[in-house]
Every structure is written in structure tokens, then in C-alpha cells.
Amino acid sequence: MSRLVSLAASVRDRPTVEQVDAMLTELQQMPRTQVVTKIIDDLLDYRAMLPV
């Protein structure tokens, strides 16, 4: 969890695709609670709007 917090804290403006992917990688290793699932869904929605 601390790695995820560090990743989120390092974002200065809007996260890049690479930063979102790193956060998703960390989230995939966590238990699938409703909170984690919601964060993953929100990040995937955000990622879909980013230019590739």
C-alpha cells in the first residue's frame, strides 16, 4: 500500500498513462475489496480518456 501512496503522491498534475499503469499494477496485488475495485474502475476510466 505504501508504494501506491508514494506513486499517487509523486503525481504533480494529471497522471500519465505510465503512472496510471503503475498504480493499477500495485492495486492488482491488493485484496479485491469494494474500495479497491472502485479505484481500479475509476483509474481505468481515466486511462481510457488519456492520449496514447
Q: What is the pTM of this model?
A: 0.84
Contact between 47 and 20 (Cβ < 8 Å): yes
Dihedral in degrees, nearest 10, Cα atoms 51, 28, 32, 42: -10
Q: Identify the pLDDT of residue 1.
A: 62
| pLDDT of 18 | 93
Cell of 4: 501506491
- Cα 32 from chain centroid (whole Å): 14
At residue 2 the predicted structure's pLDDT band, cuts being 50, 70 and 90, is confident
Q: Where are the domains of the chain?
A: 2-49
pLDDT in tens, 14-31: 899 999 999 999 999 999
pLDDT at residue 3 tops 80: yes
Nine-digit cell at 26? 500495485
Residue 4: what pLDDT? 82
